[in-house]
Amino acid sequence: MTDHQVVSRDEWIDARRQLLAKEKALLRLREDLSRERRELPWEPVAKSYVFDGAAGKETLADLFAGRSQLIVYHFMFAPDSDAGCRGCSFWADNYNGIIPHLSQRDVSFAAVSRAPLPKLQAFAARMGWGFKWVSGANSDFNYDYQASFRKEDVARGAATYNYASYTDSMPDKPGFSVFFRDAAGDIFHTYSTYARGLDPINAVFQLLDLVPKGRDESGLAHPMSWVKLHDQYETMSG
């Protein structure tokens, strides 16, 4: 028998309505924050970046695919790895199915990794993903947008992640970056988010926030140690 408080329907509705008022207040706060985000200044993208994609060399401008807004996911996949990072793969399972909807709102999407294109293609096929994924192996892109780190930069304290000094030994970390391309073809960096900032882009965590046990990660070695590639879990889904 559960020891959680169990009440009648009327009492339950009363308690739920009180929480609903707070949920509504939080959504309003989030909208204010989104408005402030859109008011952030932009910085010009001064370098030209060229990526390796399915159709050959593609510039950052090409990734916009005729739209004016581009979201990039910095996907951790080092050139010497044979599989992408499992945390990043978890996030990819969240955005893989929604790209056609983003496209309707003048947004193109691409993931960018340092691994060579054939590795990205093989891994995407294994995972059943269809989103655009290009290799930044021959460009500074993931370094410039502070999702990849050169050892010498970390050693001399010049590396940053999530707008703070980065002293870890990981060669890559995850992030989303946003770019805008104006009618004259000039490209601007408008936003990047890293670390916990990625959390709202993961529907699993939002759903787990609704269930009695929550994320249930406090007893683990680290919060996401339960996460695996979706084809590596032992039990069947259902």
- Binders in 22-41 for another protein, by CB under 8 A: 22-24, 26-27, 29-30, 33-38, 40-41
Asked whether position 212 contacts another protein by CB under 8 A, the answer is yes
3-state secondary structure at position 19: helix
Q: Which of 131-162 are b and which e, b meaning 16 or more Cβ less than 10 Å from the residue's Cβ?
A: bbbbbbbebebbbbbbbbbeeeebeeeebebe
CA angle 133, 163, 60 (to 5 degrees): 30
- Segment near another protein (CB under 8 A); pick from 76-84, 118-126, 151-159, 193-201: 193-201
3-state secondary structure at position 10: helix
Here the tokens at position 138 are: 């021959």
Residue 63 C-alpha from the chain's centroid = 17
Asked whether position 106 contacts another protein by CB under 8 A, the answer is yes
Pick 46 or 80: Cβ nearer another protein: 46
The 141-180 site mask, x for binding another protein (CB under 8 A), equals ---------------------xx------------x-x-x
User: In angstroms, what is the minimal distance from the CB of 150 to another protein?
Assistant: 18
Q: Which of 133, 154, 50 is nearest to 88 (CA)?
A: 133
User: In angstroms, what is the minimal distance from the CB of 224 to another protein?
Assistant: 10
The 119-138 site mask, x for binding another protein (CB under 8 A), equals --------------------
